[in-house]
Amino acid sequence: GTQRRCKSDITFPNLIPVNMRWELPAAILLALPFQQIGVQAFLSRGHHIVPILNSIQNQPLQSAVDDIEPYVGPVGSMGDMEGGIVVGELALQVLVAPSLVAPGKGLFLCIYDDIDDDGGDAEEIGAVEEIIIPQGTPICGYARGYFADEAEEDGDKSVGFLFAGENVADVTAVFYNKQLMTLSDALWTVYQERGEEGNTDTSNLLFGHCVQISNETGVSIQADTDFMSRIFIPDVKEEDKFSPTSLGIYANDLAFDPDSNEEQYFENSERNNILQLVWRLAKDEKTGMVVPTWPVVVTKQDIRFLNTVPMEVGLQYGFNYWNAVLTEGASKYIK
């Protein structure tokens, strides 16, 4: 059989529903010019998912192919899958089914072999036995939604939007204009566009933040303390529940252990969670401000799949999330 491996410079492929009862949504197109991922997100109150800063080098694969261990996660049954998509160029199925680790639904991945669908000769073409997906590859959207001052009561799926810390703009990656770039590059792009229009004001350059830009000091970002509506609340319509933009919301954190400390949590997450969130940004045409649209789910590390049966995959929520959950006692993970 043949092996299918994915390059890091691919365009985010077309997404096709596995079950054609669901309407085919428009594909998300996200180019990957380089592999550097990172996000700092808001968590001052409530338990919100925190995309953790995670630098990734500019390489197609971070590991030698033979050194990438095949992913092994909780094994589901194809008969239990309720819906999902096929990422054809990755030969990957992204599926939703009852979770094997928590109440509610979970996110599952497995190899997709389209030989039967295309009517090809299996002996001539060869089956897909293995796929390798580089670190930082977009898998699906997290969810569409809106921003609010506070999360919903259970709060499990809300995501905060905050960039803070020294040089954060230079080490944080975002999707902007269908490309993966640093937050600094995205802000410089918009700042220069505004400058051509005679506007050099940076006070409203980034949603919920105060930004300073200069050739000498680069991009400096601080949270706007008067701005509160920075909690992203997913709002997925029934007809969109299995669309490419909304599947990430079903991903659970496979690293949670109420008895673990912060170091142990991240050790567990490194082993068990293979997904991470990155913000997708856009320029508001009316205000010229850079605004968040929705989070995107990407691979946290180089991933090797040998499985044609669905395996549940995890998304790193962050240790502070679990601290807040244990304090508030409001989460589906807490019995």
Domain membership of residue 334 (yes or no) is no
Q: Which residues contact 243 (CB under 8 A, 6 or more apart)?
A: 22, 25, 85, 141
Domain range for 304 is: 2-328
pLDDT in tens, 255-278: 988 888 999 999 999 999 999 888
Domain membership of residue 333 (yes or no) is no
Domain membership of residue 160 (yes or no) is yes
Q: 43 or 175: whose pLDDT is higher?
A: 175
Residue 127 in this model has a pLDDT that exceeds 80: no
pLDDT in tens, 54-78: 444 444 565 577 788 999 999 999 9
Domain membership of residue 319 (yes or no) is yes
Domain membership of residue 80 (yes or no) is yes
Kindly state the percentage of the chain with pLDDT values over 90. 32
Domain membership of residue 243 (yes or no) is yes
Beta strands 159-160; 128-133: pairing state: unpaired
pLDDT in tens, 274-330: 998 889 999 998 888 999 999 999 898 889 999 999 999 999 888 878 877 777 665
Q: Which of 278, 258, 274, 272 is nearest to 321 (CA)?
A: 258
Is residue 112 within 8 A of residue 91, CB to CB? The reply is: yes
Domain membership of residue 102 (yes or no) is yes
Is residue 273 within 8 A of residue 72, CB to CB? The reply is: no
Q: Which of 219, 216, 166 is nearest to 188 (CA)?
A: 219
Number of domains the chain contains:
1
Where in 76-178 does DSSP place strands (E)? 83-87, 92-98, 105-111, 128-133, 138-141, 145-148, 159-160, 173-176
Is residue 321 within 8 A of residue 331, CB to CB? The reply is: no
Residue-level pLDDT at 19: 29
Residue 1 CB neighbour total at 10 angstroms: 11
Domain membership of residue 335 (yes or no) is no
3-state secondary structure of 135: coil
